Structure 1
Amino acid sequence: MLKELRPALVLLVALVAITGLAYPLAVTGLAEVLFPSQAQGSLIGKDGKIVGSALIGQQFASGRYFHGRPSATTGADPSDPSKTVPAPYNAANSMGSNLGPTNKALIGRVKTDLAALRNENPSQPVPIDLVTTSASGLDPDISPEAALFQVPRVARARNLPEQQVRDLVGRHVDGRAFGFLGEPHVNVLELNLALDEMAATEE
């Protein structure tokens, strides 16, 4: 019996050591050397403190900041853990909305968002990514059009010339990866940090 079990046990231990220890450690070590920032979560710091990640969106409610895409992520209800409540950009619960295009709650939310955005900038069409959630609910980026749409509001709130804010957006547009993958985009957190720096130099 032991004679038959020994090869299987040896193989099991060897595979666990290779796939469960050696391989993950090798990949992690290689990533730390070749891509240290990405291996640590693409964290973004300000004044010596971590303020977020370039990979995970954040909610910016103030009119002084650019806003990201809506987020459909949820979290546990503090008053009843068996239920969930909206928790935008909850990295522990990445998810999109399960609401279909005919769902009344979704239609109501989009109409409310559209009305607010049209009131904010009535002269421009509302970019679709400002009213739709992403599949992950954590999208840190918006389209250049979505960022430019918000320029008048941000400029008014900060008492800055619109063209100055528009130029700032232009400097933070990332193009397609390798020139052909994906779409041009703007990282909202990085743009808002640059906005704070620009405003600080104006004071």
Structure 2
Amino acid sequence: MYLPTWIRPHLAALRALLLLTVVCGVLYPLVITGIVQLPALREKAGGSMIEAAADGRLVGSRLIGQAFTGKAGSALPQYFHSRPSAAGNGYDPLATGASNLGPEDIVDVLPDPAPQKTGHQDPEARQSLLTQVCARSRAVGAQEGVDGSRPFCTAGGVGATLSVIGPRDATGHVNRPRRVVSVNERCPDKPFLATYRGVRVECARYGQDYSTGEILPIRGNAPKTPKVPADAVTASGSGLDPDISPAYARLQAPRVARVRKIPLRSVLDLLDQHTTGRTLGFMGEPHVNVLQLNLDLDRRHPSGT
């Protein structure tokens, strides 16, 4: 049967559509589904889920981090804890992602004191990345009984950032400040520095704009290498990282041993067993899967849970 010329391309496109639909939409998924059911692949294809040895309950995935907290939301001291998460309310696979805050994010958005008087939070308030790191380091230090101080952080756990206000030179720096404000310390807090270049340092007031000044982070006298490792105070890019560094795990080991009333050596030996080295000996960093380590702790030392 003769078909008009303009119809032939449309029929060819329709045949290609049907063929690709069958191959890519039916046959390919069936083949891949069959392949991943092989014994060597089934566990990974199913999400690398982990069961509790006692009753076979699913307790998590070795690929996704989780918080080890009680009913009130407080951290359980008998467990190792994961690194912070910026995915939703924490480790949410449906909200995976980072905070998208960089190293230059050092100025907080101070909360409005009015809603705080009625017990509400100011939704516009925001902590800078620097203040988040400082607050986490201080909290971890207090929990683990070590010095939680960090460069560019105040003793109160916020970013040590000044706005130096005054005329600028040709390079954009303020050489003769007229006013200096600790922008992350809200009045009536006492600033972490009394004076800067002979000028009294003021606390910050809500609603004031200090961006006209030169924004300067102040290093302070904290040790160059903090006691609290970096992965204890920063979230991963996905927000779902299930692993922590051996350094962070070892920092937590004395607390876990003390709460479980077991020798520290037992905890450290178990930690060594759960430390995975670099891939192929040179890719990545050594790491510890927190969920697997905690499950092994419960299996070997159930009396401490």
Q: What is aligned with 1:181?
A: 283
CA distance in 2, matches of 1:72, 1:201: 33
CA distance in 2, matches of 1:44, 1:197: 14
Of 30, 33, 36 in structure 2, the residue corresponding to residue 31 of structure 1 is: 36
Q: Deviations over 1:118-146 (max 9, x none)?
A: 22131781111011100000000011111
**Which of 27-36 and 37-46 deviates more?**
27-36
1:28·1:39 contact (CA, 8 Å) conserved in 2? no
Residue 180 of structure 1 and its aligned partner are, at CA, apart by 2.8
Q: What is aligned with 2:64?
A: 56
Residue 49 of structure 1 and its aligned partner are, at CA, apart by 0.9
Q: 1:201 to 1:136 in 2, by over 3 A?
A: same
Q: 1:1-203, aligned counterparts within 5 Å?
A: 1-33=6-38, 34-46=40-52, 47-60=55-68, 61-74=75-88, 87-101=89-103, 102-103=105-106, 104=108, 105=127, 106-119=129-142, 120-122=144-146, 125-200=227-302
Q: Deviations over 1:17-58 (max 9, x none)?
A: 212222222222212214111011000001211110000000
1:69·1:130 contact (CA, 8 Å) conserved in 2? yes
Larger radius of gyration: 2
CA distance in 1, matches of 2:47, 2:268: 29
- What SS does the aligned partner of 1:44 have? strand
**CA RMSD for the aligned pairs?**
1.9
- What percentage of aligned pairs have identical amino acids? 46
2:277·2:286 contact (CA, 8 Å) conserved in 1? yes
Aligned residues: 191
Residue 202 of structure 1 and its aligned partner are, at CA, apart by 7.7
CA distance in 1, matches of 2:33, 2:251: 40
1:73·1:89 contact (CA, 8 Å) conserved in 2? yes
Q: Runs of at least 4 residues of structure 1 off by over 6 A?
A: none
In the alignment, structure 1 segments of 5+ residues that lack a partner are 75-86
1:174·1:184 contact (CA, 8 Å) conserved in 2? yes
Q: Deviations over 1:128-182 (max 9, x none)?
A: 1011100000000011111111001111111111111111100101122233322
Residue 99 of structure 1 and its aligned partner are, at CA, apart by 2.1
- What SS does the aligned partner of 1:89 have? coil
In the alignment, structure 2 segments of 5+ residues that lack a partner are 1-5, 69-74, 109-126, 148-225
CA distance in 1, matches of 2:130, 2:280: 37
- Identify, as 1 or 2, the structure richer in helix: 1
1:94·1:136 contact (CA, 8 Å) conserved in 2? yes
CA distance in 2, matches of 1:146, 1:122: 12
CA distance in 2, matches of 1:189, 1:202: 17
Structure-1-length-normalised TM-score: 0.87
One-letter amino acid of the counterpart of residue 145, structure 2:
N
1:121·1:150 contact (CA, 8 Å) conserved in 2? no
2:259·2:304 contact (CA, 8 Å) conserved in 1? no
- What SS does the aligned partner of 1:37 have? helix
